[in-house]
Structure 1
Amino acid sequence: TTLPGMRNEGNSEAEAEAVGCQEQRPSGENASSEEEGEAEDENCQTPWKKSQKLADGLMRFSIDLMKEVQLESNRTNVIVSPLSIAIALSQLALGAANRTEKRLLEVMHLESAPCLHHTFGTLRRRLTESTLSLASRLYLQKGFEVKEKFLEDSEKFYGAKPTALSGISEDDLVAINEWVKEATRGQIPTFLQQLPASTVMLLLNAIHFHGFWRTKFDVNFTGPDVFHLDNEFVVPVEMMKAQKYPLSWFTLEPQDIQVAKFPFKTNSSFVVIVPNQPTWKISRVLENVPYKQLCRLFPREVPTAVKIPRIKLGYQLELNKVLSRMGLGELFTSPDLHKITDEPLFVSSVQHQSALELKEDGVEASAATSIAISRSVSAFSLDRPFIFIIFDDETGIPLFIGCVQNPNPSAAPQQKEPRDSSEVTDANEYPMPK
């Protein structure tokens, strides 16, 4: 996907030290110049200098993945972790050779990323020390003899040796679910309902993230509001509100898209992409956001009247069809995995589950301030469908990507009321931050 380099004419030049971008241009050097011609892992002990290619590749993989998942999903809200899926596929690539290895790396857009397994290993260890729970594992049919090099590298870089299934379906199911529950600190208690028939190899990954806002929302200001599904219908939601929230945001004028960044405490950010037109297609929006320029585009934070719905998302999907459409169909038929075992081996199933919860995260003592929104204050209302990406700030790597088209799908949509003249729901009607 070619992303055009766009700049918002309405904003002043963004600060070089903008939150979340401070590590993406290490020590003023061009990371790619140092990478040219590197073929081996000689300098892999300092992989952060090489993380930009990883971040760029994973962002492109995220867009491809989201497009395909949307085709597969009949639900309004989606959340997947491109990082978690890429780590699982990269672990599989350790055991792949020839065309299979080449296709795996190409689909992830990581064929030119140096020190790939070292970098993933360092990244995985660092992220799991914070609020991210992440786990991936290969389960193999009983009786397969796995090569020692693959066992060693899987544990060294990805923290897990391949595990043999017992052959007793009920026991294997309990063991898998217990492992996932433990690996995600209890956040994903039941990962699989049943094992795929005639399982030869099962590729599992699970991830959970609980973001603690750098600036908390006061729970006393959370209350009933509406979310605009389109120009005709709304659903009731619990909306978190703040009158002077420090927010960095801008509008991409040609695309009529608003972008905002809500920082978490742990070197990560919740970036929201909000099309102003209700008849938007996710694929088109994703293709028109200049991800490489985001750091430069985000201006200084300004006190902003903010509305954002409380969100709790869970999503599970078998990725076989999605990955096949992305070019990895041979994984499920006749891949070259002879670095794992000399016996014929193929992937039976790729399962993915993500969970995400965003809420006020604490109550801060504060004076009783009116939450009425003033027209003189910059305002950003997340009260209509949006795409979100959770980035790791140090590297720019996408941890999650998803979309929320209806944060309350169990509620019956209601016809919009004629808009009260004192109530403003369109963030465009507020002045832009200067």
Structure 2
Amino acid sequence: TTLLGKRNDWNPEDEATAGAVGCREQQPPGEIASSEEAEDNSCEMTWKKRQRLADGLMKFSINLLREVQLESNRTNVILSPLSIALALSHLALGAANRTEKHLLEVLHLESVPCLHQTLGTIRRQLTASSLSFASRLYLQKGFEVKEKFLEDSERIYGAKPMTLSGISEDDLVAINKWVKEATNGQIPTFLQQLPGDTVMLLLNAIHFHGFWRTKFDASFTGPDVFHLDNEFVVPVEMMKAQKYPLSWFTLESQDIQVAKFPFKSNMSFVVIVPNQFTWNTSHVLENFPYKQLCRLFPKEIPTTVKIPKIKLDYQLELNKVLSQMGLQELFTSPNLQKITDEPLFVSSIQHQSTLELKEDGVEASAATSVAMSRSVSAFSLDRPFIFIIFEDETGLPLFIGSIQNPNPNAAPQLKDPLDSREATNVNEYPMPK
């Protein structure tokens, strides 16, 4: 028999019939099931189109995270697949023939009709919530940009391509100033220097500060440890709550726990916590039933929760990663004839994302200790985990990443025997009823 809250009943073949992650399992009432052709010819935003978009972006996200982790030796990875996809689809707007085809294939969005209008609509909707996007193309001085590309860029992607002045100090100041303004001051210095001989630069920055639907009381936040592996821990500031309304389950077939912490603005922080310390992110995600999440998440129940405070930013140049994913031509000889008639190639694609998780409650002056009771369901985010921030209705992956160490500046300490016992007995926590 399967314990309540333990899920091992999903079947990968169900995925063909289930929607993407978006938590509307069926076509909304009042939305007439149109024929494929009629829908493909119209640019109206339908539920089905959003599902297709979410599904494609989830595939892109998993591939992207895998390549970044192969490329990067950093402890934590935080990416915004959505903002990278917006930058690449903006480039696709100016691309033709093989280049355009390859861009859309790598994004897994080749089957989304009216792609640019669809992404433009989604970008506007998300900007109205808690996301700050900054995305722009910069071209070397002297390039004559086609009028239609300028108009479409502003109308759909909200950013006209800019021409660099050719004076690198001035350009650097202008770029950093623009990113700082576009991210509400959260990314003050995006670039330390301009790549040499820049022909075209694709910049992409995003800041997210989620406000929990159920706040954590700051007076319960205190020092605790995060288990790096079977031997070492690092000190962290841990947010704690006694009866936090949490939906979570254990997927026994993969030996992982999955929980959903809702934000106020129709978004959720979904965490995947493998019970063992030796795991491979790609392997976990490739076998993860993301299309089934709506069905798998049980009703929220009062749960004793521990989750570390996090403020991390992650910046990287994506040239090598995207080349590995099949877009080498962007950096050598792409067909970008809809941008300009002159030969043009991408010099650099830069991405930065910042993520902040804190209590978002009123700082209380009196420090009270909170006893962590095991009488109710308990969920501790005190070991390495993978996270995905989803937009709830569409299931669009806004962020994806893995946190191996939320406090990389602290020196790891050897566990004391009590810590070791706590870390290995994950399965003795009572399961959700």
With normalisation by structure 1, the TM-score equals 0.91
Question: Against the structure 1 CA distance between its residues 424 and 195, is the aligned structure 2 distance closer, same or farther, given a 3 Å change threshold?
Answer: closer
The CA distance in 1 between the partners of 2:93 and 2:174, in whole Å, is 25
**What SS does the aligned partner of 2:417 have?**
coil
Aligned counterpart, 2:50: 51
Question: Against the structure 1 CA distance between its residues 367 and 303, is the aligned structure 2 distance closer, same or farther, given a 3 Å change threshold?
Answer: farther
Q: Deviations over 1:167-225 (max 9, x none)?
A: 11111111111110111111001001111111110001110000000000001111111
Q: Deviations over 1:30-76 (max 9, x none)?
A: 99x74733586x52233454110000000000000000111122210
Aligned counterpart, 2:18: none
Question: Against the structure 1 CA distance between its residues 158 and 235, is the aligned structure 2 distance closer, same or farther, given a 3 Å change threshold?
Answer: same
Report if aligned partners of 2:387, 2:402 keep a CA contact under 8 Å in 1: yes
Cα offset for 1:371?
A: 2.6
Does 2:282 match 1:283? yes
Aligned counterpart, 1:83: 82
Alignment of 1:188-337 (within 5 A): 188-337=187-336
Does 2:41 match 1:36? no
Q: Deviations over 1:232-285 (max 9, x none)?
A: 111111100001100000011011011000000000000000000101111111
Identity, in percent, stands at: 78
Cα offset for 1:413?
A: 0.9
Equivalent position amino acid for 1:194 in 2 = Q
Report if aligned partners of 1:47, 1:119 keep a CA contact under 8 Å in 2: no
Question: Against the structure 1 CA distance between its residues 126 and 186, is the aligned structure 2 distance closer, same or farther, given a 3 Å change threshold?
Answer: same
Does 2:414 match 1:412? no
Aligned counterpart, 1:127: 126
Does 2:322 match 1:343? no
Cα offset for 1:27?
A: 1.2
Aligned length: 418
Aligned counterpart, 2:388: 389
Equivalent position amino acid for 1:213 in 2 = W
Q: Deviations over 1:373-403 (max 9, x none)?
A: 2222100000000000000111100000111
Report if aligned partners of 2:99, 2:334 keep a CA contact under 8 Å in 1: yes
**What SS does the aligned partner of 1:110 have?**
coil
The CA distance in 1 between the partners of 2:34 and 2:105, in whole Å, is 22
Aligned counterpart, 1:102: 101
Question: Against the structure 1 CA distance between its residues 167 and 106, is the aligned structure 2 distance closer, same or farther, given a 3 Å change threshold?
Answer: same
Does 2:428 match 1:429? yes
The CA distance in 2 between the partners of 1:29 and 1:229, in whole Å, is 50
Aligned counterpart, 2:149: 150
Aligned counterpart, 1:117: 116
Cα offset for 1:427?
A: 3.4
Report if aligned partners of 1:379, 1:427 keep a CA contact under 8 Å in 2: no
User: For structure 1, which segment, 267-276 or 357-366, has the greater mean C-alpha deviation from structure 2 after superposition?
Assistant: 357-366
Cα offset for 1:25?
A: 3.1
Equivalent position amino acid for 2:204 in 1 = N
Report if aligned partners of 1:381, 1:425 keep a CA contact under 8 Å in 2: no
Cα offset for 1:95?
A: 0.6
Equivalent position amino acid for 1:270 in 2 = F
User: For structure 1, which segment, 85-94 or 46-55, has the greater mean C-alpha deviation from structure 2 after superposition?
Assistant: 46-55
Cα offset for 1:363?
A: 2.7
Equivalent position amino acid for 1:37 in 2 = E
Aligned counterpart, 1:17: none
Report if aligned partners of 1:217, 1:363 keep a CA contact under 8 Å in 2: no
Q: Deviations over 1:11-43 (max 9, x none)?
A: 9xxxxxxxx954453316999x74733586x52
CA RMSD in angstroms comes to 2.3
The CA distance in 2 between the partners of 1:346 and 1:228, in whole Å, is 45
The CA distance in 2 between the partners of 1:270 and 1:399, in whole Å, is 10
Gaps (5+ residues) in structure 1? 1-6, 12-19
Question: Against the structure 1 CA distance between its residues 230 and 368, is the aligned structure 2 distance closer, same or farther, given a 3 Å change threshold?
Answer: closer
Report if aligned partners of 2:22, 2:51 keep a CA contact under 8 Å in 1: no
Question: Against the structure 1 CA distance between its residues 367 and 430, is the aligned structure 2 distance closer, same or farther, given a 3 Å change threshold?
Answer: farther
**What SS does the aligned partner of 1:273 have?**
strand
With normalisation by structure 2, the TM-score equals 0.92
Cα offset for 1:146?
A: 1.1
Report if aligned partners of 1:38, 1:114 keep a CA contact under 8 Å in 2: no
